[in-house]
Amino acid sequence: MNMHQKKVNHLTLMHAISAEKPASWLQPDADNTSLADSGNARHGKAEPINILLVEDNPADRRLVTERLGNHRKNHFHLVHAERISEALQILTEDKISVILLDLQLPDCRDLEALSRIRAAATGIPIVVLSEIEDEALALKALKLGAQDFLVKWHTNEHLLIRAVQYALERKQVEEHLYHLAHHDALTGLPNRKLFYDQFKQALAMARRHNHMLAIMFLDMGDFKKVNDGLGHHCGDLLLQMVSQRLSGCVRETDCLARMGGDEFIIAFTISHIEDATAAANKVLEIFAEPFTVDIHSIHARAGVGISIYPSDGEDMESLIKNADMAMYRAKAESSDTSRFWFYSPRFNARTAELARIERQLHMALENNEFLIHYQPQVDIHHGNLIGMEALLRWQHPERGLLMPSHFMPMLDETGFLVIAGEWVLREACKQNKAWQEAGYPSVIVAVNISSQELQHRDFVNTVKLTLEETGLDAKWLELEIREDAIEDDESMALARLTEISALGVRIALDNLGHSHIPLSFLTHFPIHAIKVDRSIVSDVATDANHASVAKAVIAVARVLNIKGLAEGVETQEQLNFFKAEHCEEAQGYLFGKPLSPSACDELLQRLRMGRTAFMPT
């Protein structure tokens, strides 16, 4: 026995907290016979704290039992083992909170005993009880994972109780930190890290037993709109409510996690593909009813992508990636309803590209890369500026300033057109209100509305909320609707445009001149202006057919008692033609190219300073 003169009464190491989940969490409760506090459970007292004492010396065992039993504030439940083999068996059967370990045992001695117990009891605090007063041994024990090192013949009741209490407190801290590190702070669901750990285990089990697994990747649609329109507080409440509904429709054995933002993921075992279909329908059902957030009723929707093990991938990365791609396909199929989609190799490359593009578009929006330029609209008979059309631009970090022709197909195909359109509407109204507050002459701001936006179920509410949030009077907003948006669904378009018009918002029919919409059809719609398509305008001075079409469109405007506007006017000859035909308004490079907001400020400032006529440039 190597005895040092220096006493080692009580050594404690504040070591790094393990990130592994305590094994005791996985063990079932067991009824043990308590030697220190046998009557607590029967009399309804607090649940006893199970302490495993690994000690082969009867006298030391009796002494520890007495000291712990004398402490009435804690309900210690002592379980005995004389050998390491017995201790390991107990750890598989009982839920142990603290281990008191003697290092001199019949079947294992010194630090080997600690190593074996530590390997079998990950996460359970271990307090070493040693007959040897050896500082070097104590430090080695602490480095191997012991939380305390007590020398038996220097340990009284107070030191022993304090060591056990400290061990329990540290365990609670470890479990709390574990929970924080592995769960989402907002929803309480497992986070990405814990999901990966759980999924790896589920995948290993599926391989071992030849089972099928389904991975369901869910992304909420229009969530950014909730954050922007109602505030992050409402967005957080909505995520919490979605988490609660999702938790209510999955089994305890399923792995449900929040991956971040508005993305959730679920992994579960299935026997047939139909099981995944049934599960997806069950998940989508939670979005059928609106979510009441504060005073708001929110109709949330979701896109769900599904991949199957082993047919769609045999490793975690492939399965999650393929479920993610299927989710983008589901969202692209409909921007207005919740939908799920199974992964298929047939759309692998294209869907992956669409997913990449959509992420790029989201990043562009977050990084303020999208811009709005405004093109003047002019009363061609009096030279007054009467409006500005809002035109989207993309200040790409690598490719420079991009015109809509370079990215509009991307917006359309990815379903991002609705998100971008809402952003343009809000920014344009905000800018027009700022011009008014600066004392500039009031003008109408015109915003293009796509067919996807018009068909979106929240379109009318979006316009209402935008006007309320920006404080812009509805009469200073004009929405330009293309003919094809009306032709896609006439009854829907009529209903929504009627609601918009009732707000006081002006509606212009854009690009007129190519469709076959009859005059009688137009009389049913609340149209305030029609715009002659630029492709017609470009040739009115040289092409008799185009001139005839332009005259007909202007005549329609006159019959309906609404304004006509020629877009794309670039020459004096074109301007003279429309003046002669009594067209009221025009826009185009002849009057000015699309301007940045700062350039518009300069223009409006000049007009305010006394230049009443807006002459062609």
Contacts of residues 258-263 at CB distance under 8 Å and 24 or more positions apart, as own/partner, are 258/184, 258/186, 258/187, 258/189, 258/190, 258/191, 259/192, 259/195, 259/217, 260/192, 261/223, 262/219, 262/220, 262/223, 263/217, 263/218, 263/219, 263/220
Helix (H, G, I), strand (E, B) or coil at 41: coil
Question: In this structure, what token pair is assigned to residue 505?
Answer: 């918002």
- The burial of 136, by beta-carbon neighbours within 10 Å (0-12 exposed, 13-18 middle, 19 or more buried), is given as exposed
Please count the other Cβ atoms lying within 10 Å of the Cβ belonging to residue 473: 15
Q: pTM score, two decimals?
A: 0.54
Contact 577, 550 (CB under 8 A): yes
Q: Domain 374-608 has what CATH class?
A: alpha beta
- The burial of 417, by beta-carbon neighbours within 10 Å (0-12 exposed, 13-18 middle, 19 or more buried), is given as buried
Q: What's 515's DSSP letter? A: S
Give ranges for CATH 3.40.50.2300 in the chain: 10-182
pLDDT at 25: 28
Radius of gyration of the chain (CA): 36
**Euclidean distance between CA atoms 504 and 161, whole angstroms:** 77
Question: In this structure, what token pair is assigned to residue 590?
Answer: 């002849």
CA torsion, points 406, 410, 411, 415, in degrees to nearest 10?
170
Q: CB-based contacts of 292: which residues, under 8 Å, 6+ apart? A: 298
**Euclidean distance between CA atoms 194 and 189, whole angstroms:** 10
Contact 306, 343 (CB under 8 A): yes
Strands (E) in 43-165, as ranges, are 49-54, 76-81, 98-102, 104-105, 108-109, 126-130, 148-151
Please count the other Cβ atoms lying within 10 Å of the Cβ belonging to residue 457: 15
Tell me which amino acid residue 588 is. G
**CB-hemisphere CA count at 13 Å for 377?**
24
CA distances from 166 to 11, 181, 385, 616 (A): 12, 22, 78, 84
Question: In this structure, what token pair is assigned to residue 126?
Answer: 């271990």
**Euclidean distance between CA atoms 278 and 424, whole angstroms:** 39
Please count the other Cβ atoms lying within 10 Å of the Cβ belonging to residue 418: 23
Question: In this structure, what token pair is assigned to residue 271?
Answer: 């026997």
What are the average pLDDT values for consecutive 10-residue runs of the chain, which has 617 residues?
Answer: 35 32 32 35 58 89 82 74 90 88 85 87 86 86 86 82 84 81 90 91 92 94 79 90 93 91 93 92 91 87 93 91 87 77 74 73 88 94 91 91 86 83 95 94 93 87 94 96 79 90 93 61 82 87 86 85 90 92 91 92 84 55
Please count the other Cβ atoms lying within 10 Å of the Cβ belonging to residue 579: 14
Helix (H, G, I), strand (E, B) or coil at 554: helix
Give ranges for CATH 3.30.70.270 in the chain: 192-364
CA distances from 585 to 129, 319, 505, 591 (A): 94, 57, 18, 11
Helix (H) or strand (E) holding 63: helix 58-69
pLDDT at 17: 31
CA distances from 600 to 430, 561, 597 (A): 14, 31, 5
| Of residues 227, 244, 230, 238, the one with CA closest to residue 292 | 238
Tell me which amino acid residue 452 is. Q
Q: Domain 192-364 has what CATH class?
A: alpha beta
pLDDT at 610: 67
Which residue matches tokens 């030697």? Answer: 35
Q: CATH for 10-182?
A: 3.40.50.2300
Helix (H) or strand (E) holding 208: helix 192-209
pLDDT at 241: 94
Helix (H, G, I), strand (E, B) or coil at 464: helix
Q: CB-based contacts of 591: which residues, under 8 Å, 6+ apart? A: 376, 378, 569, 614, 616, 617
**CB-hemisphere CA count at 13 Å for 2?**
6
If you write DSSP's letter for every residue of 522-539 in order, what string do you get?
HTTS---EEEE-HHHHTT
Contact 132, 154 (CB under 8 A): no
CA distances from 378 to 116, 133, 236, 523 (A): 86, 96, 45, 26
Give ranges for CATH 3.20.20.450 in the chain: 374-608
pLDDT at 38: 36
- Is the alpha carbon torsion for 24, 169, 75, 43 positive or negative? negative
